[in-house]
């Protein structure tokens, strides 16, 4: 029997995707992605970790356009970013093709990809944000 | 209080040997390993029968690779153990060999780094059941391309300034007969062929096959076996640490390097400014800048200018990656960390020929590996 991986994404009533993170009751660490084993900061057991909704929005800390990839999906070139979420955690994600020109410091937000896509969510530059039309 | 065994019972590198790093060939791992070990035994002027314990650092060979290889030097029955520590496997084999001698359990120990990649690297973390939004896109070259982006943005450094570290290491590798890449490259050549972000093909290390052997000895072994003291290089310290949790903006690899180096410097009783030669995990050019800063050779953001004005060249203040580093000598995984020790020893003996750092007395070898792990050794000639 395979061990199910934690769900990463949820949808608000208005259809906006959010990220499912965890907050540790013992040390207050907020983590993303959610961990199936326990708290990486203090070692608290999984039953001490509460699911929390994290806004799929943040600031680009680093960005790279990838020209060589060992898989067919996503097709190259594609652009990835390290993003510091407004709610704390740092994650790495693929940007939409329209936001391939994103730069460090740009605000980005997550948009859901079609079902069964890999990755299931990409980030795109925020409308009216400082990085648009650069 | 824990003991620093290397301070209590000195350990010396007395022999080094290599099988050149190169593209995968039809040669078996046994041929690669035996070539390096025989060269190290000759270099140390010891017999296989004198070796009391052996550690093989390998990430890819699989179970039970050591005895069928090393018994071809004679089935002496000594303890043999394989060490897997990702890219730092060879470094950790050296660490265990040093610990074995420092503890007094043995007087003469072999550390062998050896690998023969077979396409695809089995990665433990991928089996850990962790989900993420990366969809398999963050392979090592992209992990480091992102660190390059962050660094260049934070410090106003250009892609060309980062690439100059690769230009230097290709130049050093051109003088190393054991290097996988032995060709001087222009900055224009290095800037061609983008792979990920600002990282180009020649700013990414080649992963091939090879072997590197290191023989370490106690004072007693040096006396008893009549070894050449003038060529013995002391291992002042050996430090291993793993990643903790760091905040956004604190690069994992650099923060881990700084923590591990702090232990290594304290135990060795030296300062970063004492270093004459340095081999770092420069699998990607940006890493040389990150780690020279994390090791305390300069302030954050300064390394690119030190590369540009030749401070890290042979003949500069501290020669960085005189072997060519992972970028030019290559990164066959298991051998790499042991090979770094071999290069530092060659430099500190003054036997590095056309790539000799003048008057080199103190050196440091640094590896990081997937996990993340970090291993640092400080060496000094008498
Ligand atoms: Zn906790």
Domain membership flag for residue A41: yes
pLDDT value of position A2? 54
Give the Cα separation of B195 and B202 in Å (integer).
Answer: 9
pLDDT at residue A130 tops 60: no
Q: Domain total for chain A? A: 1
Inter-residue contact A47 to A17 (CB < 8 Å): no
Inter-residue contact B137 to B78 (CB < 8 Å): no
pLDDT digits (tens, 9 = 90+) for B326-355: 999 999 999 999 999 999 999 999 999 999
Give the number of other Cβ atoms within 10 Å of residue B63's Cβ: 6
Domain membership flag for residue A78: yes
pLDDT band with cut points at 50, 70 and 90 for residue A5: low
- Of the candidates A29, A80, A90, the beta carbon closest to that of B137 is on A80
Give the Cα separation of B147 and B141 in Å (integer).
Answer: 10
Q: Does A81 touch chain B (CB under 8 A)?
A: yes
Domain layout of chain B by residue ranges: 5-119+206-380
pLDDT digits (tens, 9 = 90+) for A39-49: 999 999 999 99
pLDDT band with cut points at 50, 70 and 90 for residue B129: confident
pLDDT value of position A4? 61
pLDDT digits (tens, 9 = 90+) for A47-103: 999 999 999 999 999 999 999 999 988 999 999 999 999 999 999 999 999 999 999
pLDDT value of position A132? 39
Domain membership flag for residue A134: no
Query: What residues contact B375, with CB distance under 8 A and at least 6 apart?
Result: B85, B88, B91, B92, B95, B238, B239, B240, B260, B337, B366, B367, B369
Instruction: Return the CATH number of the domain spanning residue range B5-119+206-380.
Output: 3.40.47.10
Domain membership flag for residue A91: yes
One DSSP character per residue, B166-179 reads HHHHHHHHTT-TT-
- Domain containing A35 equals 7-124
Please state the rounded mean pLDDT for residues B191-202: 98
Q: Give this complex's ipTM.
A: 0.93
Q: Can you give the pTM of this predicted structure?
A: 0.96
**Dihedral class, residue B222 (left if φ above 0, else alpha if ψ from -120 to 50, else beta):** alpha
At B5, give phi and psi (nearest 5°).
Answer: -60, -35
pLDDT band with cut points at 50, 70 and 90 for residue A127: low
Q: Does B150 touch chain A (CB under 8 A)?
A: yes
Tokens 């043995």 belong to residue: B106
Q: Does B188 touch chain A (CB under 8 A)?
A: no
pLDDT at residue B1 tops 60: no
How far apart, in Å, are the Cα atoms of B241 and each of A43, B94, B248, B364, B366? 19, 15, 20, 16, 12
Please, what is the average pLDDT of chain B? 96
Inter-residue contact A90 to A83 (CB < 8 Å): yes
- Given an 8 Å threshold on Cβ–Cβ distance, is B150 in contact with A61? yes
Give the Cα separation of B199 and B64 in Å (integer).
Answer: 37
**If you measure CA to CA, which chain B residue comes closest to A110?**
B133
Tell me how close the Cα of A32 comes to any Cα of chain B, in angstroms.
8
Q: Does A25 touch chain B (CB under 8 A)?
A: no
């Amino acid at each position: 029997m395979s061990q199910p991986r934690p769900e990463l994404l949820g949808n608000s009533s208005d259809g906006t995707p959010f990220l499912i993170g965890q907050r540790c009751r013992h040390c207050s660490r907020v983590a993303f992605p959610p961990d199936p084993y326990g708290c990486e900061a203090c070692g608290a057991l999984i039953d001490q970790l509460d699911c929390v909704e994290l806004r799929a929005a943040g600031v680009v800390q680093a960005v790279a356009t990838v020209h060589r990839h060992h898989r067919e999906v996503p097709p190259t070139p594609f652009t990835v970013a390290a993003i510091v979420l407004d709610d704390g955690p740092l994650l790495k994600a693929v940007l939409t093709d329209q936001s391939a020109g994103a730069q460090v410091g740009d605000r980005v937000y997550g948009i859901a990809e079609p079902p069964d896509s890999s990755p299931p969510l990409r980030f795109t530059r925020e409308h009216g944000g400082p990085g648009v039309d650069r | 209080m824990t003991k620093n065994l290397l301070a209590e019972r000195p350990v010396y590198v007395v022999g080094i040997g290599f099988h050149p790093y190169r593209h995968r060939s039809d040669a078996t791992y046994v041929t690669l390993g035996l070539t390096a070990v025989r060269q190290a035994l000759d270099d140390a002027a010891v017999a296989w029968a004198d070796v009391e314990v052996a550690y093989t650092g390998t990430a890819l060979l699989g179970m039970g690779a050591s005895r069928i290889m090393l018994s071809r030097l004679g089935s002496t029955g000594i303890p043999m153990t394989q060490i897997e520590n990702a890219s730092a496997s060879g470094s950790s084999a050296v660490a265990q060999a040093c610990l074995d001698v420092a503890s007094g359990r043995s007087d003469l120990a072999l550390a062998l780094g050896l690998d023969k990649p077979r396409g695809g690297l089995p990665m433990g973390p991928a089996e850990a059941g962790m989900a993420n939004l990366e969809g398999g896109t963050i392979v090592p070259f992209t992990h480091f391309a992102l660190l390059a982006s962050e660094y260049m943005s934070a410090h106003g450094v250009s892609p060309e300034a980062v690439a100059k570290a690769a230009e230097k290491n290709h130049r050093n590798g051109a003088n190393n007969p054991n290097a996988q890449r032995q060709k001087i490259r222009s900055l224009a050549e290095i800037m061609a062929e983008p792979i990920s972000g600002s990282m180009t093909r020649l700013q990414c290390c080649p992963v091939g096959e090879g072997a590197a052997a290191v023989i370490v000895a106690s004072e007693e072994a040096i006396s008893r076996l009549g070894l050449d003291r003038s060529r013995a290089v002391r291992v002042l310290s050996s430090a291993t640490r793993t990643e903790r949790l760091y905040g956004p903006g604190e690069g994992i690899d650099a923060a881990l390097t700084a923590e591990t180096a702090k232990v290594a410097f304290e135990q060795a009783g030296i300062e970063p400014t004492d270093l004459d030669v340095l081999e770092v995990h420069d699998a990607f050019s940006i890493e040389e800048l990150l780690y020279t800063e994390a090791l305390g050779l300069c302030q954050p953001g300064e390394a690119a200018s030190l590369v540009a004005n030749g401070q890290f060249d042979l003949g500069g203040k501290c020669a960085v990656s005189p072997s060519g580093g992972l970028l030019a000598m290559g990164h066959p995984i298991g051998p790499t960390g042991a090979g770094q020790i071999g290069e530092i020893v060659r430099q500190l003996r003054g036997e590095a020929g056309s790539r000799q750092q003048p008057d080199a007395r103190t050196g440091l070898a640094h590896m990081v590996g997937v996990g993340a792990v970090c291993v640092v050794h400080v060496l000094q000639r008498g």
